[in-house]
Structure 1
């Protein structure tokens, strides 16, 4: 099963080209679900689990993977269905790394990997409501049948199991800058409502005006509309904080498009993503972001914003 990801290192070239690869899997017999391959470390058959007393109900236990204890999240239960049994023949474990932590997701049959463009990935319909567990959907031909594929909002799943604390460490907040934050605007671009809320709650402590959009294309259209109206985008926004993976246009392509437009090429851009740090450092250099922050680090987020304000004030 792990062989399905043997060429994952070669796939890094897709990012920055507005492309991605999805790992398809099932948690029931009828629907296809997916997550981005870049979040996946490996896929293994579900090993024996050790109980974890007092854990969240959606944690089925702990798996020992080559000497490392990894919490196993029952994904079917976490997104609102009945819990998936841990003794099924098709039970598999997708081991992922999000926000600098490693966890396993208990799923059913793992299908294969598909190569997509972000322009083929659409936000979930608004009629799905605000409490759904999807960041996006797409449609593809698989085994001769057209399938609707649901892309899981893993950040939302994790946030409901592992509480993210937006409180800042002592000494991080520069009290002398707080009066100067008022009136400054910041654009947050992320397809996960959970991630946007985390950023907003963190930076809300600074008194900034936060503008939210759901994907890179929306952000680009908004910035261009301001520029068309004669707004100096680079001055109007203290910075833009963008996720990497988003429907229709990813954060790398968004940054490239902004840098290519003379009216807003100097906009300060911070990449805020749960993808691996070493990979993103290379991509930041390639597309021209000013900063990179791994999710979710409230202290670091505030430090970057404060440093940017100091630059503007000097």
Structure 2
């Protein structure tokens, strides 16, 4: 399976075409789950696990992966779908569990799954925000859904939500290094992210900076809101939008990815002046280069509150200087 997972830069080129790849897997239930391949570092047959005394029940053990100790999350129990049996015993009984290794907050974590199916490519326009009844199931960990050709639904997981529930970071840890910038007070940011954890972190950061904000949960929703602001500016006889001062966008989102959203913004003269910062947990030089190619102002790695505040101050103040010169 690992040979099917392309290099990060190759997958970034997919994102630039408003496409993504999903790794499909199962948890021993009827549901089909998916995880964005961009968030996956490796897939392997489940190695031997070392049990951790008094660990959270959702952590089924530690795996030694080439000298790196990786905590293994029992994904089935984390989603409230039951509990895994004796996972090491399952291997001996003919079962074939897998470990999906992902990276979050600079460290590796493994997800124990009952089986891995295949990798399949979708257009982001085919990835939809789930209905409320789906969002409320599985402890809010389903960030999007899509349909296979045979009509079966794929539930796409919010990796950040699953891991944050197990090991939440306190606000003091997350925001202690932020610097309050008086010039940002009352400035407005439109931000878009499909992860509930990311939206909460961004909202808290902007609150601490005394900024206002407009929230979107998908790239498509962000674009609709920006078009509404642009149309309002036109109706008021203005050449450009002035209700917001910056746009902060995730890269991979349902309906429209951040690269495509940035291209749309740069193509609309009423919006083109706004700084656009791409905000993503995805690494790779090609990400940054692709962002520059489509016109992004900057690229910020999730979630660094200090950097977010500094970059907002830098680009909003630079934008204000440009407006003054134009006037």
TM-score w.r.t. the length of structure 1 is 0.91
CA contact (8 A) 1:232 1:264 kept: no
Q: Which residue in the other structure is 1:267 paired with?
A: 274
How far apart, in 1, do the equivalents of 2:29 and 2:82 lie? 13
Pair 1:119 & 2:122 matched? no
How far apart, in 2, do the equivalents of 1:220 and 1:23 lie? 27
CA contact (8 A) 1:100 1:274 kept: no
> 1:285 and 1:160, CA in 2 relative to 1: closer, same or farther beyond 3 A?
same
CA contact (8 A) 2:274 2:319 kept: no
Q: Which residue in the other structure is 1:213 paired with?
A: 216
Task: For residue 11 of structure 2, give the secondary structure of its aligned residue in structure 1.
Answer: helix
> 1:293 and 1:6, CA in 2 relative to 1: closer, same or farther beyond 3 A?
closer
CA contact (8 A) 2:9 2:284 kept: no
Pair 1:164 & 2:172 matched? no
How far apart, in 2, do the equivalents of 1:281 and 1:27 lie? 35
Structure 1 residues without counterparts, runs of 5 or longer: none
> 1:6 and 1:270, CA in 2 relative to 1: closer, same or farther beyond 3 A?
closer
CA contact (8 A) 2:280 2:301 kept: yes
How far apart, in 1, do the equivalents of 2:10 and 2:189 lie? 35
Provide the alpha-carbon RMSD of the alignment: 1.9
Deviation digits for residues 26-63 of structure 1 (CA, Å, limit 9, x no counterpart): 01241110011111111101111112234322111110
Pair 1:173 & 2:176 matched? no
2:142 is matched with which residue: 125, 134, 139? 134
How far apart, in 1, do the equivalents of 2:303 and 2:169 lie? 8
Which 4+ runs in 1 deviate beyond 4 A?
A: 6-9, 231-234
How far apart, in 1, do the equivalents of 2:146 and 2:293 lie? 28
CA contact (8 A) 1:39 1:96 kept: yes
TM-score w.r.t. the length of structure 2 is 0.88
Structure 2 residues without counterparts, runs of 5 or longer: 322-327
